[in-house]
Amino acid sequence: MRVVSGKYKGHPLKPMPGKQTRPTTDKVKEAIFQVIGPYFDGGLGLDLFAGSGGLGIEAISRGADKVLFVDKHPRAIQAINQNIQTLNIKDQTEVYKTDAFRALKAAAKRGFVFDWIFLDPPYERVSFQSLFESIVNLNLVQEGSILVCEHSTNDSLPQDFEQLEQMKKVEYGSTIALSLYRVI
């Protein structure tokens, strides 16, 4: 695992130990950022179900001002913090060990509105419908915000959801799919 492009290009990232997560491959990461960037002039991101923090760190490397990282597993939080420390980007991050839905409510209470939300939950164990409802109902996005969903090819995500419009859906092999939504 490594940072694919930007300021920290080529820097290795420590993965979360164990088999509870599937790190996003370089190929998928590059595809995501070619659609949503590829580089940014500031902005705020949320890496929900962050694992080792690879997507959020990639966003910072490509110019995002700040990213919030959320995962409920202690080993994930440890890996995220080590990666943040290695790259010396603590001032551009906030890391939370909590449930995704609690994190969304807490972000809304703080008035956060995200430019990008990366959603990579455990395959087939979290409802994207419920995530979309929370994100939209809590006003965590605005026109132009982008949601990036990495999911199993078995998951059926909606073409559109309220003000979310699917920009792209791509399958990588027989197990990984990527669906990107823009807020209209």
Please give the average per-residue pLDDT across 109-126, as a whole number.
93
Please give the average per-residue pLDDT across 28-37, as a whole number.
92
User: Is the pLDDT assigned to residue 19 strictly greater than 70?
Assistant: no
Structural domains in the chain, CATH included, are 26-183 (3.40.50.150)
Q: Please, which residues have CB within 8 angstroms of residue 78's CB and are 6 or more apart in sequence?
A: none
Pairing outcome for strands 66-71 and 93-97: parallel
User: Is the pLDDT assigned to residue 20 strictly greater than 70?
Assistant: no
Q: Which of 62, 47, 174, 66 is nearest to 121 (CA)?
A: 47
d(CA 61, CA 149): 20
| C-beta of residue 50 within 8 angstroms of C-beta of residue 26 | no
pLDDT given at position 122: 86
Q: Which of 11, 104, 107 is nearest to 52 (CA)?
A: 11
- Which tens digits make up the pLDDT trace of 41-61? 999 999 999 999 999 999 999
The beta strand positions in 49-158, using DSSP E, are: 66-71, 93-97, 114-119, 141-152
Mean residue pLDDT across the chain: 94
d(CA 68, CA 93): 6
Please give the average per-residue pLDDT across 153-166, as a whole number.
93
User: Is the pLDDT assigned to residue 21 strictly greater than 70?
Assistant: no
How long a stretch of residues is the chain?
A: 184
Please give the average per-residue pLDDT across 91-109, as a whole number.
98
Please give the average per-residue pLDDT across 97-111, as a whole number.
98
